[in-house]
Structure 1
Amino acid sequence: MSEHADRRRHLLGLINGFRISQALYVAAVLRLSDLLAERPRTADDLAAVTGCDPRALHRLLRALATAGVYAEAPDGSFASTALGAELRAEGLGDWAAFAGAPSMWGAWGALEHSVRTGENAFESVHGATVWEYRARNPAAGAGFDAAMAALSRHVADAVLEAYDFAGFGTVADVGGGNGALLATVLSRHPYLRGLLLDQPHVVEAAPAVLAAAGVADRCEVHPGDLFTAVPPGADAYLLKSILHDWPDERALAIARTCRRAMHPGSVMLVLERVLTGPPYPPADLPAAFSDLNMLVGPGGQERTRAEYEALLGAAGLRVTRVVPTTTDVSVIEAVPVEP
C-alpha cells in the first residue's frame, strides 16, 4: 500500500469512528458482554434474550467481531474477547451507554455550533444545561452516575497507587457522586474517615454503595451545593472530574468554597487530565478530545498545568506538584496560601 493510500485509509478510519462508538453503545445498552460472560451464544439466542431482530443483531455482532470486541466461531456462536469483557457493566459498559446516548449524541452533533459561537452545544440542543437535564430526567441522571462510577473504579486504583494518603485522617470527596471513588479510598485505608458531598438527588444512592464496600460506618453523606459550602476541616479535599466541568469563573467559585473549608494543613487533590504541548504527544489524545466533550457537554474545559496554577492561585491555593498516574488522569496537589 502506498503512503498516500495508507494516509487515506487512516483518515477514513477516523472519519467513520462514530460507527464503532454507536455499535459499542448498542452493545453496552443490550449488555451483550455480560450475556457472553459465561459462555458463547448465537445471535438467535441473544436476540431472544434482548428482544432484538436476530439478523440485525448478528450483523452488529459481526461488525464488533471485526473490531476485536467479540469473536465468531465456525458454528456461528459469538464469544467475548478480553477487549469485549471490558464492556461489561462492571467495566466500561456504563460509560459506553452514557457516551453514546441520544442526549450526548445530539450535543456532539452540534459541535460546529459550539466552535462557531463558543456556546454550549448541549444547552443549545436540549434547552437546558446537562445538570438541569439530568435533574429533570432521572434515567439520564442515573446513567451519568453509573458512567462516572465506572470511570472512578479504574481511576481510583491508579490514584491510590500513585499518591500516598498516609497522614490524612479525614478525606472529603466534593461532588463525589454516589461515593464510588471515596468507597475505594476508604477500603484501602481503614484508618481514614470520609465526607461525601453532592446534590441531594445524587447522594441518594451513596449509602448503598458505601455499605456494599463496608465503609458506611466511616463516612458521612452530606447533601448540598458545592458552590455554597462543603464540609469543613477535612485533611484532604478530593475533586475528581469536577473543575473541568465548568468555565473558569464557576470553577474558581468551587475552588474558593473548598478553600474556605480547609484548615492550614489541608491539601486539595484535583484529579483531572492535564493538557501538555505543543508538540502534542499521542498520550494527549484522550485529554484533547475530553476538552471538546466539555465544550459540547457541561460547558467546561480541560486545562494545562499553568492554567490550573492560575485558577487555584486565584482561590488562595498553591500547586505543589502534579503526580501522574497510569491513567490519563493526574493528581494536582495544592495547599492553602496564607493571606
Structure 2
Amino acid sequence: MHTENGTAAEAASALIDQALDFVFPAALRATALLGLADHLADGPLPVADLAARSDVHEGNLLRMLRVLATRGVVEELDDGRFRLTDLGQPLRSDAEPPAGPAILMITDRSLWAPAGELDRCVRRGGPIFDDLFGMPIFEYIGKEERTATAFHNGMAAFSDQENGPIAAAYDFPETGTVVDVGGGQGGLLLEVLRRRPGLRGVLLDEPHVVPGHRLDTEETAGRWEVVPGDFFTEVPFGDVHMVKRILHDWDDERCVQILRNCRRALAPGGRVLVFDAVVPRGNEPHQAKALDVLLMAAFTGRERTQAEFEHLFTAADLRLTNIVPTGTVVSILEAHPA
C-alpha cells in the first residue's frame, strides 16, 4: 500500500516518531530546572564536568543531552564535549528575553496532565482539569504557590518577548490613561509608558498578582497606579483598555463580561485593544493552534478566529475596527463603541 507520503510502513514509522516528540519538551523542562544552560554559558564542557556542576547522574545526563542535540539546543563536539548553541541560549537564567519560565509553565503538571488525556476532553466537549485536580485551574493557581509562580513567571516570559514589538506596532495616543486589564506584572504597560511620556497607566489584576509589578522605574515615575481587583466585576476608567492574552483563557460568556466592563469604563472617544493570536485558516503550523489544545484541556477558553472575535465584540456593544499585525504571534484587535 502506498500513501501520499510514501508507503504505509513509512507513514507508520513517521507517526511513531511524532508520538515520541513529547520527550523533547520533557528534556527542555529538565534543562531549565537543572540550570544546564548556565553551566554551559562559558563554553563547552565534558559530560562529567557538567554533571558534577549540576549535581546529576552523568550517564542519564548524557542520554538527555543526546535528545537535546537532535533539536539543536546543544551540540555534541567531536571530543565528546557539549556546547550550548544559539538556539539554546535563551535557556540561560540571564537571557533577555528568557525562555525558561515559559517552558516551565507550558510543561507544568497543571497543563501537562490534562493534555495527556485529550480523548476525555474531546468526548466531553469541555476541560478535564477539574477531574484531575479537584477544582478549576484558576482556583488551583490561587491555592498552589508553586503552580502560581510557574504560571505568572511563565506568562511574563511569554509577554516579555512580545511587549516591545506590540507597543511599537500600535499608534497609542500621546496623552490620556491606559488601563492594562489583567496585566500581570505590567510588562506591556511599562513598554507603552516608555514610548509615550504623556500617558498615565493603570494596572489591574488580582490582589495576589499586582505586588509583583515592574512599573516602578525612573522613566515612569508618577505616571502609574496599581489597582487590585477583578475584571469580571469592574474595570478602572480610561481612554484605552488593553486586554492581553486574557480572553483566550475564558469562554464566550465570560469574555463578553470582561469586554462589557471595559466598554462601560471607556472615556468618550476611547477604545479597547485586545492582544491575542488570531487563528489563521489553512494547514500551516501556528503556535495558536497548539496552544488552543492546551487551553481546551485545562481552561474554559480557546484561541479564536477573526469571526469569533467579532462575535464577542458585537455582544459587548463594541465594533472591531482594525487588526494590526505586530511581527509576533499576537495581533492587536482594535474595537470602538458600536
User: What is the TM-score when the length of structure 1 is the normalising length?
Assistant: 0.91
Cα 1:214–1:49 change in 2 (3 A) is farther
Q: 2:28 is matched by which residue type in structure 1?
A: L
After TM superposition, list the pairs within 5 Å mapping 1:1-339 onto structure 2. 3-4=6-7, 7-89=11-93, 90-206=97-213, 209-211=214-216, 214-232=219-237, 234-277=238-281, 280-283=282-285, 285-337=286-338
| Range that drifts further, 194-203 or 178-187 | 178-187
Q: Residues 170-222 of structure 1, C-alpha deviation per residue, up to 9 Å, x if partnerless?
A: 2111001111222222223333221101001011111xx22358535321111
Cα 1:14–1:190 change in 2 (3 A) is farther
Distance 1:194 1:213 in 2: 14
Q: Residues 302-336 of structure 1, C-alpha deviation per residue, up to 9 Å, x if partnerless?
A: 11111111111111110001112211211000011
Q: Is the 8 A contact 2:204 2:226 kept in 1?
A: yes
User: What is the TM-score when the length of structure 2 is the normalising length?
Assistant: 0.91
Distance 1:287 1:327 in 2: 11
Distance 1:200 1:36 in 2: 39
Cα 1:170–1:100 change in 2 (3 A) is same
Q: Residues 67-104 of structure 1, C-alpha deviation per residue, up to 9 Å, x if partnerless?
A: 10001223332211111012234421111111112222
Q: 1:269 is matched by which residue type in structure 2?
A: L
Corresponding pairs, count: 330
Distance 1:324 1:11 in 2: 34
Distance 1:171 1:239 in 2: 11
Q: Is the 8 A contact 1:174 1:237 kept in 2?
A: yes
Cα 1:48–1:139 change in 2 (3 A) is same
Distance 1:7 1:34 in 2: 39
Structure 1 alignment gaps of length 5 or more: none
Task: Note the C-alpha offset of 1:281.
Answer: 4.1
| Range that drifts further, 2-11 or 293-302 | 2-11
Cα 1:256–1:27 change in 2 (3 A) is same
State the secondary structure of the residue aligned to 1:271: strand
Task: Note the C-alpha offset of 1:166.
Answer: 3.7
Distance 2:180 2:203 in 1: 5
Distance 1:327 1:183 in 2: 18
Q: Is the 8 A contact 1:183 1:213 kept in 2?
A: no
Task: Note the C-alpha offset of 1:243.
Answer: 0.7
Distance 1:46 1:133 in 2: 36
Distance 1:332 1:13 in 2: 38
Q: Residues 243-279 of structure 1, C-alpha deviation per residue, up to 9 Å, x if partnerless?
A: 11001111111111111111221111101111232xx
Q: Identity rate of aligned residues, in percent?
A: 42
Q: 1:115 is matched by which residue type in structure 2?
A: V
